[in-house]
Structure 1
Amino acid sequence: MPRSKKGKRGSTKAGVKNGMKVESGASDDELTSDVLSHYSSASESTSVLEEGTGGEQVDEQTAQEETEDKLKQCIDNLTDKSAKTRLAALESLRQAFSSKLLYDFLTERRFTVSDCLERNLKKGSAEEQAAAATVFALLCIQLGGGDEAAEGFNMLRPILTSILIDNTASMTARQSCARALGMCCYVSAAEDGEDLIKSLSLLESVFMSSYSNREGALPTPKPGGPGLHSAAMQAWSLLATLCPASKLSVLLHLHLPKLQACLQSSDVNYRITVGETIALLVELGREIDEDFEVEDGESLCENLKSLATDSHKHRAKNDRRKQRSIFREVLHYIENEDFTEEKISFGVESMYIDSWMRRRIYDAFKEILESGVRHHLQFNPLLRDIIGLGPPIILDSTIKANKISRFEKHLFNSAAFKARTKQRNKVRDKRADVM
């Protein structure tokens, strides 16, 4: 099989390239909450492209204090008797956590916030549970993946698990819990092989219910089922990128044949998730064995070709277009090991998504952070370390001293953070075999 390109774990490229898919660097969506309006006023006076003045620093400090007061009120409102008030507080926190770095503020209040979110998950409505799970995932990203995030993950993992496997719970809440479980394990427990295996197994138990039976027939999907299975599979595949060669070999042998049958699912979004997961697993398989071949590869390619040229009129036009685009990429990679690169611009930097693994990682963070992903790519040391971008580029030394020096110092001197980084690097270059 010809090999024109190999995606490498943790690789990073910068500059301008032609002939690739490009994601525009549009500005974040305008957010309307009071919390974010104050963050906006603060950020305007602290742009890395501007020279700070004394007056601007005073304005920034005032805006910061006002913002923190509003955040404190949102945290207090998480325990309000009114469900509407609690939901509004969760939404404000979600927007604030996704749009800015709040490490110093949240480190001092992480137990309080975790306790409140646990209560929202245990006693709240389906909508409240879904929102609380998302806010908790954002909290782990904010805390930087060290001991603080691990403490919160250990506290809330049982309730996330309980909701995820509860067949009577809301599908929306279960989807949110699946995504939160995958993300929180990825950023806070990556160095713990036992936690990783437990989370993988739990997520597997959810989406494997969509696999075909012994006769080869796919089960009839329940309302909301494909969405849940997609969320669990995406979270599982994110964690699979951390697995050493021995564990990956087991996963490939178990799941690749079963996933091929799921390409015939009646749900277009689930089919796309399956296709992307197959491409990721094949890429990981080729990394641990240059001679890796997909079992019944010819049949797989025929199925992919059919989906890449699907023109059935009973499918929505947009669904057909999206499906054809994704499966053309998957087929091209399976046949030629060639990945269509994607350029992501943020601030004065650019990065390239040049492998299925890097796309899965980026998509997972983008799903949680939404429009705030570019801000975190620019300033969040945790995400930059995971993607392989290096420390944040700060053009104004006064901002570096005043805004994120504590965060950087904590992350890069923390023993837990170093252990996680060391473990991830070992896994990436395939020398680890800890499971």
Structure 2
Amino acid sequence: MPRTKKKNGRGGQHGNVQPFSDEDASIETLSHCSSFSDVTSVADEGGEASEDTAQEDFQYKLKGFIDSTVDKSAKTRQGALDGLKTAMATRILYEFISERRMTITDSIERCLKKGKGEEQRAAASLACLLCIQLGSGIESEEVLKTLKPIFKNILADGSANIQARQAVSTCLFSHDHCCFLVDGTCPSINPQTSQLYTNALLSWALLLTICTASQLKDILYLPKLPRLLESEDVNMRIAAGETIALLFELARDMDTDFEFDDWDELCDKLNALATDCNKHRAKTDKRKQRSVFRDVLKAVEEGDFQSETIRFGTERMTIDSWVRKRTYDAFREFVGSGMNYHLQANEFIRDVFELGPPILVDSATMKAMKISRFERHLHNSAAFKARTKARSKFRDKRVDVGEF
């Protein structure tokens, strides 16, 4: 598709700022990852000036988005919020954001109060990404202090837009707000409300990962959580199962002799979900559910966890516990495909996972990695050709047999 021609000047309405597309995000991420991994490569190739120009253009676009969050048009405001979200998910922008923290926070507050539905959802998600960018210091605390009352009002308002409440429930949750999830029997609710409850439960589970031992002893919801396993919504059942596994892990860390009164009944429920053959449920839902609940059942019965290795750049990280998994999934929900990049470069996220300071990779290592990938590509291509050739011969033989 033809590119839109740029105007000679940088004046004009900020509503005319071009959206920050997924393609832009990919290009900018790759560009920044390259400069992060090999600071000297740009200069060596004589591209320092073009890199500075690209950075200047990128920051100009971000400033346009910030200004557009106060535009009269709701569509323009939402586009600006989404543009800022994409940028924060794919690049480290601490210095740029830190200088404009109060302006961005004010914009988020305004959109949460005066916006509707999708705009509120985008503003709430942007608030989380803003805190991920700023880290765990006083700057993030001030952002949360400003927005927390608004989040609480939206979450508690039953008449508020359901998408806004879903987004807010992911951003903010507390011990008290979890009561409506686990009191009484599992209600029959519509899919959107079920998603709200699921988000709230997962956020509550995330808070459990940073609770002290004394705080965990006061958690009284474990006997009630199994009721949510009976939900009609597969995501709610899975969230409840993973939260139960997390609580068992935390409880056993505190007391190796931890016992649960209704252990046999709980294991029967988990086993039924791990082997579910209900014909009224979608096949994809059943496969997803069975896979998760096999792991949950092992966690409850044996205290086991199926570890997973995450590779990013030249490093790797092992997800070896339910606590680590819940934390990783929470970050990944906000930064999406930018998660590996943030694991490489975001000091806050690296500190959470105890990865140490970001590692600068020299040009020789990067070159070796590229060669390795190229060789792997050649190997895969050769293997594909060999399989195709073998299958062609096999098909020819079947034709010969058919003719006899």
Q: Is 1:266 the equivalent of 2:232?
A: yes
Aligned counterpart in structure 1 of residue 176 of structure 2, from 201, 206, 217 = 201
Aligned counterpart in structure 2 of residue 157 of structure 1, from 141, 148, 152 = 148
CA deviation vs aligned residue, 1:299-347 (integer Å, no higher than 9, x gap): 1000000000000111000000000000000001111111101111111
For the residues of structure 2 that align with 1:352 and 1:108, how far apart are their CA atoms? Answer: 35
Q: Which residue of 2 aligns with 1:413?
A: none
Q: Is 1:180 the equivalent of 2:174?
A: no
For the residues of structure 1 that align with 2:145 and 2:24, how far apart are their CA atoms? Answer: 29
Higher alpha-carbon deviation: 385-394 or 312-321: 385-394
Q: Is 1:320 the equivalent of 2:286?
A: yes
Q: Which residue of 2 aligns with 1:126?
A: 117
For the residues of structure 2 that align with 1:147 and 1:302, how far apart are their CA atoms? Answer: 47
C-alpha contact (below 8 Å) 2:112/2:123 kept by paired residues = yes
Give the direction of change, closer, same or farther, for the CA distance of 1:109–1:228 in structure 2 (3 Å limit): same
One-letter code aligned to 2:176: S
For the residues of structure 1 that align with 2:141 and 2:182, how far apart are their CA atoms? Answer: 33
C-alpha contact (below 8 Å) 2:82/2:122 kept by paired residues = yes
CA deviation vs aligned residue, 1:47-83 (integer Å, no higher than 9, x gap): 5157424333322211111100000000000000111
C-alpha contact (below 8 Å) 1:121/1:128 kept by paired residues = yes
Q: Which residue of 2 aligns with 1:280?
A: 246
The Cα of 1:394 is off from its aligned counterpart by 1.0
Give the direction of change, closer, same or farther, for the CA distance of 1:47–1:150 in structure 2 (3 Å limit): closer
Q: Which residue of 2 aligns with 1:408?
A: none
Q: How does 1:12-411 map to 2 (within 5 A)?
A: 32=21, 36=25, 39-40=28-29, 42-43=31-32, 46=35, 48-49=37-38, 51-54=40-43, 55-181=46-172, 199-202=174-177, 204=178, 208-211=179-182, 213=184, 217-251=185-219, 254-396=220-362
C-alpha contact (below 8 Å) 2:69/2:81 kept by paired residues = yes
One-letter code aligned to 1:227: Q
SS of aligned partner of 2:350? helix
The Cα of 1:267 is off from its aligned counterpart by 1.1
RMSD (Å), alpha carbons: 1.8
Higher alpha-carbon deviation: 361-370 or 387-396: 387-396
SS of aligned partner of 2:47? helix
For the residues of structure 1 that align with 2:126 and 2:61, how far apart are their CA atoms? Answer: 16
Percent of residue pairs bearing the same amino acid type: 47
One-letter code aligned to 1:263: L
One-letter code aligned to 1:241: T
Give the direction of change, closer, same or farther, for the CA distance of 1:330–1:285 in structure 2 (3 Å limit): same
CA deviation vs aligned residue, 1:342-389 (integer Å, no higher than 9, x gap): 111111111111000000000000001111111110111100110111
The Cα of 1:218 is off from its aligned counterpart by 2.7
Q: Which residue of 1 aligns with 2:10?
A: none
Higher helix share goes to which structure?
Answer: 2
For the residues of structure 2 that align with 1:162 and 1:237, how far apart are their CA atoms? Answer: 21
Give the TM-score normalised by the residue count of structure 1: 0.75
C-alpha contact (below 8 Å) 2:188/2:232 kept by paired residues = no
C-alpha contact (below 8 Å) 1:35/1:96 kept by paired residues = no
One-letter code aligned to 1:48: S
For the residues of structure 2 that align with 1:102 and 1:230, how far apart are their CA atoms? Answer: 31
C-alpha contact (below 8 Å) 2:238/2:293 kept by paired residues = yes
CA deviation vs aligned residue, 1:255-304 (integer Å, no higher than 9, x gap): 11100122111111100000000000010000111111122101100000
For the residues of structure 2 that align with 1:332 and 1:44, how far apart are their CA atoms? Answer: 39
For the residues of structure 2 that align with 1:270 and 1:343, how far apart are their CA atoms? Answer: 26
Q: Which residue of 2 aligns with 1:190?
A: none
SS of aligned partner of 1:393? coil
C-alpha contact (below 8 Å) 2:29/2:91 kept by paired residues = no
The Cα of 1:201 is off from its aligned counterpart by 2.2
The Cα of 1:45 is off from its aligned counterpart by 5.4
Q: What is the count of residue pairs matched by the alignment?
A: 342
One-letter code aligned to 1:65: E
For the residues of structure 1 that align with 2:111 and 2:222, how far apart are their CA atoms? Answer: 37
Give unmatched runs, 5+ long, in structure 1.
Answer: 1-30, 183-198, 398-435
For the residues of structure 2 that align with 1:321 and 1:35, how far apart are their CA atoms? Answer: 35
SS of aligned partner of 1:218? coil
For the residues of structure 2 that align with 1:299 and 1:322, how far apart are their CA atoms? Answer: 23
Give the direction of change, closer, same or farther, for the CA distance of 1:302–1:245 in structure 2 (3 Å limit): same
C-alpha contact (below 8 Å) 2:42/2:51 kept by paired residues = no
SS of aligned partner of 1:340? coil
SS of aligned partner of 1:311? coil
The Cα of 1:396 is off from its aligned counterpart by 4.1
CA deviation vs aligned residue, 1:200-219 (integer Å, no higher than 9, x gap): 323x1xxx324352xxx432
Higher alpha-carbon deviation: 308-317 or 259-268: 259-268
C-alpha contact (below 8 Å) 2:121/2:168 kept by paired residues = yes
Higher Cα Rg, which structure: 2
Structure with the bigger RCO (C-alpha within 8 Å, sep 6+) is 1
For the residues of structure 2 that align with 1:353 and 1:45, how far apart are their CA atoms? Answer: 26
